[in-house]
Amino acid sequence: MLKVMIVDDEPYILQGLQLLIDWNSEGFEIDALMSNGKEALDYLADHKIDLIISDIKMPVMNGLDLLDEIVRQHLSDAKFVLLTGYDDFSYVQRAIRNNCMDYILKPVSKDDLTALLRKVANLNKEKEKDRLSQRNMEDAFLATNLMSIIKGKFDETNIDYVTNHLQLTGGIRFVDIEMMTETGSEDEDDFDLRVLQKQMFSACKDILKENASHFIFDVSYDKDNYDVGFIYCENMATRRDLTEREFFEMFLKKLEVLFPKPVRIMCGKTVPDVASLSKSYSSCIRISSIMGFHMQKNLYFYEEDIQFSQSGIVLCKNSLDEVISAIQANNEEAIKKAVTNLYEEMDISGQTSNVIDLNINYLLFQLIHLASEQDDNINQEEVIQYISEQSFEKSIKRGSRQHVERFAIEYADYLNGLRKNVSRGILSYIEADIRDHYAENISLRNLGEKYFINSSYLGQIFRKKYKQSFKDYLTTYRINEAARQLIASDKKINQIAADVGYRDCDYFIRKFIETMGCTPSKYRKTHAEE
C-alpha cells in the first residue's frame, strides 16, 4: 500500500476525502491527517509518505510554504498535490515550478481523485522499476568485482569497490553453497536446474537480508555446477552470539525450509582481508575435489576436514609413495597391490577414520601436483572430483579400499592420456562423431571409452577449445539442425524433435527457445514469411 497524508484545516474536507473513494482498492492507505503545514512537516521528519494532498490556504503554515520546506530540507520524495479553487490558479503555477506534481479543483470529484491516484500509482511503479534496475546493475557490478578478486585477477580498484560496498569485519571466508545433483549425468535438465539455482540464490538472500549483497550467483561459471558463492565474515556469527558452526547450521536449517533440494556448504579457510579471498576460494575448491572420498555431509570446514598438518598424525609415507608410483606407471596390478598395502598398514597401526581421511587427502594432493606438471591448464581438483564420483558405487563405502583402488586405476588412465597429449588430434574425431551421431545417445563417457581417453580429461580439453561444455555444444548442434529442418521441410515439430535426438518434445521446445529465442513454430512461421 502507498501511504497518503492529507493536509487541510477544514475537518469536513478531511473526513470527506476519506469517505469519497475506496482507497485500499486503489492500492493506497491514509496514513496521516494534518490541519496545517507545520504539523505535516513535523510528521514527515520521522515517517515515510508516498503522496501528500494539501490545501493551499491554512493557518500556521500554508500548502505552498510546506512544499517549499520539503524541497529545501530534502525531507521527502512523496508526490505533492494541491487542493485548490479556481481563484487560486496563480498559486498552482508557482507550486508546479517547485516540483508540485498536480492539483485537484474543489469540490473534489470521485473521478478526479481516482484518476490522480492511478497516475501516482503508475509513476510509483515506474520509479520502483527504475530503482530495481539500478539495484540490479549495482549488484552485477559488485559481483563482477568480487569475481575478479576471487579468481585472483584484480587491482586496487576492485578492492576499494568491494570494501566500500560490503560489511567486512574480522576474518573472511569464501563459502560455496552447492545444490546436490547427480554427478556426470548427461540427461540432467539444465533448464530446471538453473531455475532451482535461482531459487536457492533468492532463498539465501532472504535468510540474510542485511547481507544479501554478500551472495554471488553462479561462481563456478567455468564448469557444470549449480552453486551460490557467499562472502562470510566473522561478525555475522559474533553479533548473533553464535560460533561459526552454529551460524552455518542455523543457515542450513532455514535453507531447508525455503529450498526443496539438498544443499551442501563448503567453507574455505579463513583469510585476513579481501585481497586474500582467492586463497580461501582455492581452499574451497580443494574441499570439493576430495570430499568424494569421505562420508557425505552437508557442512564442511577447510580447517577441520581438509588440512593434514595436525599434531599426532602418522602418514603411511612409504605405502602412499608406492600407490603414487604405481599410478604413474599405469600398472593396474601394481595399483591394486599398493592400495591393499596402504590399507593394511593403516589397519595395523590402529588409525582412526579421521586419520585415514587425512592420508587419503595427502595422496590426492600429491596426485594433483603430479598431473599439474603434465598440463597446468587443466583444473585438477575438478578432475579428481569427477573421477572419484565415477569410480564410486553405492554398494561400497566412500574412501574404502575398493573405492580408492577404482579411483587410482581411472586416474592412472587419465595421467597416461595427459602424457600422450591426446588433445592434439582427438577433437577432430569427436567433431565427426557429433556430426554423424548427434541424434543418438552420445556422451563424453562413451566417447572416452571409444577413444581410450579418460572422459573427465576429454571434457576439459573440449571446453578449453570450444569455450563451452560438451553437453552445451551437442545441444547447440541439435537445435541448429532442428532449425534447418523447420525451414527446409514440412515435418511436424515432434518428428523433428525425435530426428535430432529428443524423445521429450516439451524438453526440445524449451531448449529451442533457450537457443533461438522463440518457439519452433514461430521460428518456422517467421522464416516462411521471409
Least confident of 46-60, 94-108, 207-221: 94-108
Q: 115 and 199: one domain?
A: no
Cα–Cα distance for residue pair 113/504, rounded to 1 Å: 54
Measuring CA to CA, which residue among 526, 426, 424, 436 is closest to residue 477?
Answer: 436
- Which helix (H) or strand (E) element contains residue 29? strand 28-34
Please indicate whether residue 413 or residue 79 has the higher confidence score (pLDDT).
79
Is residue 146 in a domain? no
Please say if the pLDDT value at position 311 is more than 60. Answer: no
Measuring CA to CA, which residue among 8, 2, 3 is closest to residue 106?
Answer: 8
Cα–Cα distance for residue pair 104/305, rounded to 1 Å: 70
Please indicate whether residue 93 or residue 163 has the higher confidence score (pLDDT).
163
Q: What is the CATH number of the domain that holds 87?
A: 3.40.50.2300
Round the average pLDDT of the chain to a whole number and report it: 85
Compute the average pLDDT of residues 210-237.
Answer: 85
Cα–Cα distance for residue pair 207/229, rounded to 1 Å: 14
3-state secondary structure of 135: helix
3-state secondary structure of 128: helix
Cα–Cα distance for residue pair 475/471, rounded to 1 Å: 6
Please say if the pLDDT value at position 265 is more than 50. Answer: yes
Is residue 210 in a domain? yes
Q: 323 and 398: one domain?
A: yes
Q: What is the CATH number of the domain that holds 235?
A: 3.30.70.270
Please say if the pLDDT value at position 312 is more than 60. Answer: no
Please indicate whether residue 244 or residue 378 has the higher confidence score (pLDDT).
244
**DSSP letter string, 373-440:** HH-TTS-HHHHHHHHHHHT--TTS-TTSHHHHHHHHHHHHHHHHHHHHTTHHHHHHHHHHHHHHHTTS
pLDDT tens-place string over residues 63-109: 889 999 998 899 999 999 988 876 666 677 777 777 788 888 888 99
CA atoms in the 13 A half-sphere facing the CB of 406? 17
Q: What is the CATH number of the domain that holds 514?
A: 1.10.10.60
Q: 239 and 120: one domain?
A: no
Q: 282 and 381: one domain?
A: no
Which pLDDT does position 386 carry in this prediction?
Answer: 63
Share of the chain above pLDDT 70, in %: 86
Q: Is 67 exposed, middle or buried (0-12, 13-18, 19+ CB in 10 A)?
A: buried
Q: 455 and 506: one domain?
A: yes
Q: 30 and 104: one domain?
A: yes
Q: Considering its fold, how many domains does the chain have in total?
A: 4
Name the domain boundary from 305, 327, 348. 305
CA dihedral of residues 81, 85, 89, 95 (deg, nearest 10):
-20
Compute the average pLDDT of residues 51-70.
Answer: 92
Q: 100 and 189: one domain?
A: no
Q: 298 and 382: one domain?
A: no
Asked if residue 450 lies in contact with residue 426, where contact means CB atoms within 8 angstroms, the answer is no
Which pLDDT does position 378 carry in this prediction?
Answer: 63
Compute the average pLDDT of residues 258-265.
Answer: 92
Name the domain boundary from 358, 387, 420. 420
Name the domain boundary from 257, 279, 305. 305
Among 213-222, 412-421, 486-495, top mean pLDDT goes to 486-495
> How sure is the predictor about 184, in pLDDT bands with cuts at 50, 70 and 90?
very low
Is residue 157 in a domain? no
Asked if residue 159 lies in contact with residue 274, where contact means CB atoms within 8 angstroms, the answer is yes
Please indicate whether residue 393 or residue 47 has the higher confidence score (pLDDT).
47
pLDDT tens-place string over residues 480-489: 999 999 998 9
Name the grid cell of 363. 595422496
Q: 119 and 32: one domain?
A: yes
Which pLDDT does position 205 carry in this prediction?
Answer: 95
Is residue 50 in a domain? yes
Which pLDDT does position 66 carry in this prediction?
Answer: 93
Q: 94 and 176: one domain?
A: no
> How sure is the predictor about 187, in pLDDT bands with cuts at 50, 70 and 90?
very low
Cα–Cα distance for residue pair 101/78, rounded to 1 Å: 10
Please say if the pLDDT value at position 147 is more than 70. Answer: yes
Is residue 269 in a domain? yes
Least confident of 129-138, 165-174, 247-256: 129-138
Cα–Cα distance for residue pair 385/266, rounded to 1 Å: 14
Which pLDDT does position 224 carry in this prediction?
Answer: 59
Compute the average pLDDT of residues 509-522.
Answer: 89
Which pLDDT does position 390 carry in this prediction?
Answer: 65
Is residue 120 in a domain? yes
Which residues form the domain of 361? 317-420
Is residue 362 in a domain? yes
Is residue 155 in a domain? no
Which pLDDT does position 421 carry in this prediction?
Answer: 58
Q: 83 and 174: one domain?
A: no
> How sure is the predictor about 237, in pLDDT bands with cuts at 50, 70 and 90?
very high
Cα–Cα distance for residue pair 49/57, rounded to 1 Å: 22
Contacts 24+ apart (CB under 8 A), 210-215: 210/167, 211/167, 211/236, 213/139, 213/142, 213/165, 213/166, 214/166, 214/167
Q: Where are the beta strands (DSSP E) in 71-226?
A: 79-84, 102-105, 172-179, 215-217
pLDDT tens-place string over residues 356-383: 777 888 888 888 777 767 666 566 666 6
CA atoms in the 13 A half-sphere facing the CB of 434? 21
> How sure is the predictor about 222, in pLDDT bands with cuts at 50, 70 and 90?
very low
Q: 360 and 381: one domain?
A: yes
pLDDT tens-place string over residues 439-455: 888 888 788 777 767 77
Residue 320 neighbours by CB under 8 Å, 6+ apart: 342, 359, 362, 363, 366
| CA 157 to mean position of chain CA atoms | 24
Cα–Cα distance for residue pair 150/79, rounded to 1 Å: 44
Which pLDDT does position 185 carry in this prediction?
Answer: 45
